[in-house]
Structure 1
């Protein structure tokens, strides 16, 4: 979540428990145009961390942090558009649209 918060230039003290983090995430006031995306971010992060945890435990493989962050953004794009990324330009437009007003 820290990576996402840095992208939006936000500061946040991470709660101790996941349930608290998720509940407080939904209290952020964001522009209506990105609200649908905003509420998906914690789920994407948790999903990517879960799959990475499984890769490390079961396959003995680990992903570098920068690749894991990129995977989260790609997954977010895929969830929002219900399709994988086919166009770099479309993906970059999507990422640049994720700004708070």
Structure 2
């Protein structure tokens, strides 16, 4: 049985994207906790979850554990983290729209 090659992003791109999401997410989380803004903590949690997943994914890819990355559980966790990130972004966007147009 011939196995198809595993296709994924490069680890360098995943590290860069994790930093792109994680650094502002960490800043928003700290600001939200410091100023007691629950909505800002919610917005930051999605970006931090996706950044943490990308870091884990890059580490697994570098170690050559592609069978773990291709598992249904890893795929489900990735989709959940992506959903949290997109949901937090859309909630932030809706809040800003209400401030501007409401």
The structure with the larger Rg is: 2
TM-score class normalised by the smaller sequence: 0.3 to 0.5
TM, length-normalised to structure 1: 0.35
**If each structure's helix is expressed as a fraction of its own residues, which one has the higher value?**
2
Taking structure 2 as the reference length, the TM-score comes to 0.35
